[in-house]
Chains A and B, each alone.
Chain A
Amino acid sequence: MAISEAEVRKVAHLARLAMTEDSVEAYTRNLSNILDLVAQMEAVDTDGVVPMAHPLDMTQRLREDVVTETNHREAYQAVAPETEDGLYLVPKVIE
C-alpha cells in the first residue's frame, strides 16, 4: 500500500471529512492505487525544469480601487443553512 490507513485517517481529518471506520479500508486501497499510478512520475528527470502553475504565460491584471458592490445580504443569505440578525451561525467556536 502506498498510503497507510493511519495516513488516510489523517488526510481525512485535514480535509474535514468524517471518514467512517467501515470506509477506511476501501479508501486506503483506492488512494494507494492512485498513488501507484502517480508514482510513474518518479522516473522522470526534472532537474532544472521550471514548474508550470498556469498554462499561459501571463501576468496578473489589476483592478482599479473602486467600490462596485452593494448590499445583497438577503439574497445571499437565502441559500444559507442558518442565519440570525444577518450573521451566519455555527456551533460555538472556542478560541
Chain B
Amino acid sequence: MSDPIHSLSLKKLRDGIHAGNFSVMEATDAYLERIANFNEELNAFITVTRDSAQAQAVEIDNRIRKGELDGAMAGLPYALKDLFCSKDVLTTCGSNMLRNFVSPYDAHVAERLKAAGGVLLGKNNMDEFAMGSSNETSAFGNVRNPWDTDCVPGGSSGGGAATVAARLAPVALGSDTGGSIRQPASFCNITGIKPTYGRISRYGMIAFASSLDQCGPMAPSAEDCAITLNVIAGLDARDSTSVDRPVPDYTATLNDSIDGLKIGLPKEFFAEGLNPQVGAVIERAIKEFEARGAIIKEVTLPNSHLAVPVYYVVAPAECSSNLSRFDGVRFGHRCENPQDLKDLYERSRWEGFGAEVKRRIMIGTYALSAGYYDAYYLKAQKIRRLIQQDFAEAFKDVDVIMGPSAPTTAFKLGAKKDDPIAMYLEDLYTIPVSLAGLPGMTFPIGFAADGLPVGMQLVGNYFEEARMLNIAHQYQLSTDWHTQVPAKFA
C-alpha cells in the first residue's frame, strides 16, 4: 500500500480496513496524528476525542474481525460540528454559553454514525451557534483556511471544512441554515451537501433556526458524501419535521449518465455582486458540463434578491426563541452571584453569548414584538413563499440549477468581522435555497486568479439528492480539483 491513509476516500478506507491492509486503530491514529500536527495552526477542532476514539477503534476492530460489523462506514473516522450533541463529550456550539456543557445524550446523527461503526475523532470549531460566515464568531478562536492561513475557512461549518480540506478527517458533519455547509465547502475546496429540509433528523443538533437548519456531510468527494448520507438520512420519530420517505442508496446512482441533463443558470446569480474571478471559474465549469452533453438554460429567480432580507428576519426570529433556553438554570453559563432572577437571566445571557448571537437575538425579538410582527415576520414568511415559487417555476424547465456558492473566494481574517451586512451578503446565493428548503451542494471546480478555490453550487428539486450526487460524481470522475490538497497538508 503506497497511498497514505489520509489520502484515501471513504470507500478505499473501508475496503483497506476490511481487506486487512490496516486496522481501524491505524486509520484512527493516522488522523489523530495529523490533528496533533496541524490543529494548533488551523484551530479546526474545539475538542479532540483521542482517548474515546482509540477505545472505539479497538472495539470496532474486534467487531469487524468477528464479522459483526460490515457496513460502508464501519471503522471510518469522522468529525462532528460542535453543535451535534455527543454523549459524554463536550458540546460547546462554539459558545461561552456552553463552554463546559458535556452533553448527556447523542444527537440522532451521532447515534447513527456510532451504530454504523464510525470513530469520532473530535468536535469541529464553528461560528457561535452557527451564526456567521467566517468562523470568526466562535468563542474558541477563528479557524484558518488551509489554502491560505491568513484567510477564513468560511462558516459556520468552518472547522469541518478546514478539517476535511487538510485531511484531518475523511469526513465531517456540518449544518447549513443559510449556507453554512456550502459556503465553507467552496472556500476550502471540498464537497458538501445540504439535503432537503427534513431529510436528516435535527434531533440533538443544537437549533439556530428550526425551519432552516439541516445537517449534511462534508468530504473530499460526492461519493464520500453519498456514503455518509446513506447512514444519516431517514425518518426519526423524535423530529416532527423529519420526513417519512424512503431513503435511496445514494451510491447506487453515482454512475448514471448525465447526458441530456438540463442545467438552469439563474441570471440573478451572475449579476452584480459576483466577483468576476469567481464568475470566470464557474463559467468554465459550466462549459465543461455542456461539453459532456448537458443542456444549459437561463432561468430566473426574480425574488432571490429578497432572500437575504427575508432570512435576516426569519432566522433571527426563530433563534431569538430557540436560544431562550440558555438562561443559566439547568445547563450552560451562569453569572457569578446573581442578585435576583432578572440579574441571573440578563447577566448569564449577556456574558454567555457573543456579539453576533446577541445581535440576532435582538433583531429576532424586535421582529416578533407587538406592533412589528406583521411588518417583519409575517411579511418575511410571505416573501419566503414567493422565493419558493420562483424555484418551482424554474424546475419546470430544468433538472438542476447551478451557480456560485459564494460571491467571492475566501477573504482575509478580520476583513468583514466588523461589518455584519457585508458578512450576511456572503450567503447571497445559498440563502434562497435554504428558504425554499431545497437540497443544495457545493463541489470543487478549480481556483480563481488569487489561487483560492471556487466551488460550484448545485441545487436540485426536493429529495433529488441522489441525482445531485450523481452529477457531481460524474464531474469528479473526469476532474481532479476535489483531490487537491494544499501542499503543506498533502
A residues sitting closer than 8 Å to B (CB atoms) are 3, 7-8, 11-20, 27, 30-31, 33-35, 37-42, 44, 46, 49-56, 58, 60-61, 63, 72, 75-76, 78-82, 88, 90-93
Contacts and interface: CB of A to CB of B under 8 A. Distances in A.
Contacts of A72: 104
B313 interface: yes
Nearest to B311: A38
9 contacts: A11-B362, A16-B345, A16-B349, A17-B349, A37-B421, A44-B386, A49-B386, A54-B211, A55-B198
Given A16-B346, A27-B362, A44-B303, A51 B330 contact: no
A41 B350 contact: no
B379 A46 contact: yes
B309 A14 contact: no
B87 to A, nearest CB: 9
A37 B197 contact: no
Contacts of B244: 61
B104 A79 contact: yes
A31 B381 contact: no
Contacts of A44: 303, 306, 379, 383, 386
Interface stretch (B117-125, B162-170, B235-243): B235-243
A31 B240 contact: no
Interface in B309-331: 309-310, 312-313, 320, 324, 327-331
A38 B437 CA distance: 21
A33 B420 contact: yes
B306 A40 contact: yes
B321 to A, nearest CB: 10
B302 to A, nearest CB: 10
A81 B329 contact: yes
B378 interface: yes
Which one of A13, A16, A40 has the greatest number of beta carbons of chain B within 10 Å?
Answer: A16
B240 A18 contact: no
B448 interface: no
Nearest to B239: A61
Given A3-B366, A31-B362, A78 B349 contact: no
Contacts of B367: 38
Contacts of A49: 382-383, 385-386
Contact of B338 (A27, A41, A91): A91
Given A16-B346, A19-B350, A81-B334, A41 B310 contact: yes
A80 B334 CA distance: 9
B411 interface: no
B439 to A, nearest CB: 11
B104 A46 contact: no
B211 A18 contact: no
B80 to A, nearest CB: 18
B114 to A, nearest CB: 18
Given A55-B211, A58-B243, A82-B334, 4 more contacts: A79-B330, A80-B329, A90-B329, A91-B338
Contacts of B13: none
Nearest to B356: A30
A15 B360 CA distance: 11
B51 interface: no
A55 B328 CA distance: 33
A90 B341 contact: yes
Contact of A56 (B104, B358, B437): B437
Which one of B362, B381, B420 has the greatest number of beta carbons of chain A within 10 Å?
Answer: B362
A30 to B, nearest CB: 6
